[in-house]
Amino acid sequence: MNDETTPVLIVGAGLAGLSTAVFLGLHGVSSIVVERHPGTSRQPKARGQAPATMEALRTAGVADDFLAAAPPGEPGMRIVITPGVAGPALRDFADDLPAFESLSAEPYGGVSQERAEAILARRAAELGADIRFSTRMESFHDDGDGVTAVVRGPDGDDRQVRARYLVAADGHKGGIRDTLGVTTHGRVAPRPTRTLFAQFEADLDRYRSGHAVALWYVQNPDLPGGSATVVSTDHPGRYVIALADEQDASDARCVELIRTAVGVSDLAVTVTDRATTASGSHIVRVADSFVAGRVLLVGDAAHLMPPTGGQGGNLAVMDGFHLAWKLAAVLGGSAGPRLLDSHDTERRPLADAYAEQQYANMAQRHAPGLRDESVAELLDPATLLFGYQCPAGAFVAEPAPAPLFRDPTAPGAPAGGRAPHVPLLRSGTRVSTRALFGRTFVLLSGDEGEAWQKAGRAAAERLGVGLDGFRIGPDADLQDPDGAWLDAYGLTPSGGTLVRPDGVIAYRGRNEDGAAGLEDALRTVLCRAAR
């Protein structure tokens, strides 16, 4: 049996696994990615990238590739509840979406999983990842110092791979979580169902209102189960319909159901593909821990949720973004291994909240019979997408604990939350504060915050940590033409804030006094011994 070593072994080349490989590569860490399928997804699956996800993809150098890969049409999605695709909208969710320009410089992305995975795989390989398709992990053993795995390639030969860490990105049907004995919690389906997915070609452009992506939640008693979902694909004129409780997958039956869902009895339809899948017992399933020894769970291996709301794929990409810098810091020796515990304390509460939000969306849009007192109240989109506050993790907690979600437009963003987007000027060019993050720690201070910058340089040198420092003011590195940044970050001109590589605020001090605690803050974040 051939032996080889790698810093990180990633099992699964879906959105989560490939994103982890991309962001690890961005931080200079190579990985081996094994995937049992022969290539990336051939199905649209998850679609859409929220602005925060696009920010991460911008850091990775692929945001423009995503924008170019989106279907033609107006940005964003048309999402409606309707008795039929051709019928009136009972509710148009575009009416509920606020403009996010004040919260991010990036637009929504409209790329399907099919194209997203291909882009991520290409970028991961460019950054040093060794991606092996048609390769299955047969077994693994965590001995406390690393993980030894046996992988079987397309030639049938077994190879032994020794990794310092294993990332489980093997999806909700993968076996790594169960092998580890990690339990789960969530919601069990009222009864097992089978869902028919049919891909078809038809002229539905007139019902899309010019949008690049369209999604119709059809509520019609003449359909099996009283509902269906119809969604556009990356290919003009091609759509997918999903129907629960339908056993007949013949062309004639599919055409009949598509015509009923559209509401046009003589619609010209060509069925191009179909598949029937049995649902598991869970509608929602979240692992009780995202960390088990030297194994870290990401994507659907960590959190399974209904697709309604479109955040499952975003969570998968962002799992990799938020995990990669931590793994890189631990592997490089600038952080203690306990830093990785924050992958659980920071990402699991978010997954729980998003899973319940997706379930609430499903009850509202697709299955009203599920609605009861246990269903969460839906958060407004801005709060959901930009307002999450880690309840615990790799940051210096502030005296007054923040709620799990806060209004992202409110002033004074606390540690543990997203560093706000504020438009600045650098050498006369407009730049977002968010564009400064992604690779290293960033220290932002006011025009009178030289004490912060001095303390930051000294602490970074002593701890061997990469840190970029910027003063913001009329005569500083960056200018604030709208006079918004101090209020957004809750600082005075002599204050400062330390932002992690993933754009989460690690520490802040309203005035110059906070600079004295900067090195201790870095040590806390990185799980390094106190001075």
Residue 79 pLDDT greater than 60, yes or no: yes
Grade residue 94 by pLDDT with cuts at 50, 70 and 90.
low
470 and 410 in a common domain: yes
pLDDT of 368 reads: 75
Grade residue 175 by pLDDT with cuts at 50, 70 and 90.
very high
The pLDDT tens digits of the residues spanning 31-66 come to: 999 999 999 987 777 888 999 999 999 999 999 999
* Domain total of the chain: 3
503 and 473 in a common domain: yes
pLDDT of 77 reads: 76
The rounded distance, in Å, linking the Cα atoms of 327 and 337 is 9
Residue 98 pLDDT greater than 70, yes or no: no
* Catalytic, out of 108, 165, 217, 489: 217
Q: What is the mean pLDDT of residues 201-207?
A: 94
- Look up residue 400 and give its DSSP letter: S
328 and 292 in a common domain: yes
- Domain presence at residue 90: no
Residue that finishes a domain, picked among 328, 346, 381: 381
Closest Cα partner for 310 from 114, 70, 87, 111? 111
Structural domain for 219, as ranges: 194-278
Residue 306 pLDDT greater than 60, yes or no: yes
The pLDDT tens digits of the residues spanning 428-475 come to: 899 999 999 999 999 999 999 999 999 999 999 999 999 999 999 888
513 token code pair: 């006094």
Grade residue 73 by pLDDT with cuts at 50, 70 and 90.
confident
The rounded distance, in Å, linking the Cα atoms of 37 and 154 is 10
For residue 272, the tally of other CB atoms under 10 A from its CB is 13
The rounded distance, in Å, linking the Cα atoms of 497 and 516 is 12
Q: What is the mean pLDDT of residues 290-294?
A: 98
The rounded distance, in Å, linking the Cα atoms of 92 and 216 is 10
507 and 367 in a common domain: no
The rounded distance, in Å, linking the Cα atoms of 130 and 31 is 6
The pLDDT tens digits of the residues spanning 480-521 come to: 999 999 999 999 999 999 999 999 999 999 999 999 999 999
pLDDT of 435 reads: 96
The rounded distance, in Å, linking the Cα atoms of 75 and 213 is 8
Q: What is the mean pLDDT of residues 381-398?
A: 96
- Domain presence at residue 252: yes
The rounded distance, in Å, linking the Cα atoms of 282 and 344 is 21
Helix (H, G, I), strand (E, B) or coil at 194: strand
Q: What is the mean pLDDT of residues 212-225?
A: 90
294 and 248 in a common domain: no
273 token code pair: 């593909």
pLDDT of 196 reads: 87
Closest Cα partner for 233 from 406, 45, 9? 45
pLDDT of 476 reads: 87
Cβ–Cβ under 8 Å, residues 174 and 295: no
> How would you label 334-351 residue by residue, b for 16+ Cβ within 10 Å and e otherwise?
bbeeebbbbbbbbbbbbb
- Domain presence at residue 291: yes
Which helix (H) or strand (E) segment is 350 a member of?
A: helix 342-365
Helix (H, G, I), strand (E, B) or coil at 406: coil
CATH number of the domain that residue 252 is part of: 3.30.9.10
153 and 243 in a common domain: no
- Domain presence at residue 429: yes
Looking at residue 346, its amino acid is E
Look up 217 and say whether it is catalytic.
Answer: yes
The rounded distance, in Å, linking the Cα atoms of 268 and 259 is 9
Q: What is the mean pLDDT of residues 217-223?
A: 92
Residue that finishes a domain, picked among 245, 278, 311: 278
Q: Which residue has the higher pLDDT, 282 or 162?
A: 162
pLDDT of 76 reads: 65
Q: What is the mean pLDDT of residues 258-286?
A: 87
Half-sphere exposure of 372 (CA within 13 A, CB side): 3
Closest Cα partner for 66 from 48, 92, 83? 48
Top-ranked range on mean pLDDT: pick from 83-92, 98-107, 349-358: 349-358
What is the DSSP track for 441-454? EEEEEETT-HHHHH
The rounded distance, in Å, linking the Cα atoms of 273 and 199 is 5
Which of these ranges, 16-30, 82-96, 193-207, has the smallest mean pLDDT?
82-96
CATH number of the domain that residue 151 is part of: 3.50.50.60
Burial of residue 518, with CB atoms counted within 10 A of its CB: 0-12 exposed, 13-18 middle, 19 or more buried: buried
164 and 55 in a common domain: yes
Grade residue 97 by pLDDT with cuts at 50, 70 and 90.
low
92's torsion region: left (phi>0), alpha (psi -120 to 50) or beta?
beta
List, in order, residues 6 or more apart from 428 with CB less than 8 Å away.
none
The pLDDT tens digits of the residues spanning 121-138 come to: 999 999 999 999 999 999
Residue that finishes a domain, picked among 324, 358, 381: 381
Residue 85 pLDDT greater than 60, yes or no: yes
> Pairing between strand 158-168 and 2-11?
parallel
- Domain presence at residue 508: yes
pLDDT of 179 reads: 96
Burial of residue 184, with CB atoms counted within 10 A of its CB: 0-12 exposed, 13-18 middle, 19 or more buried: middle
38 and 11 in a common domain: yes
31 and 128 in a common domain: yes
373 and 455 in a common domain: no
Report how far apart the first and last C-alpha atoms of the chain are (Å, whole number): 47
262 and 302 in a common domain: no
Residue 19 pLDDT greater than 80, yes or no: yes
CATH number of the domain that residue 447 is part of: 3.40.30.120
Residue 369 pLDDT greater than 80, yes or no: no
- Domain presence at residue 32: yes
What are the two backbone dihedrals, phi and then psi, of residue 376, each rounded to the nearest 5 degrees? -65, 150
* Residue 468 C-alpha from the chain's centroid: 25
- Domain presence at residue 95: no
Residue 400 pLDDT greater than 90, yes or no: no
332 and 315 in a common domain: yes
- Domain presence at residue 89: no
The pLDDT tens digits of the residues spanning 141-167 come to: 999 999 999 999 999 999 999 999 999
Residue 365 pLDDT greater than 70, yes or no: yes
Residue 192 pLDDT greater than 60, yes or no: no
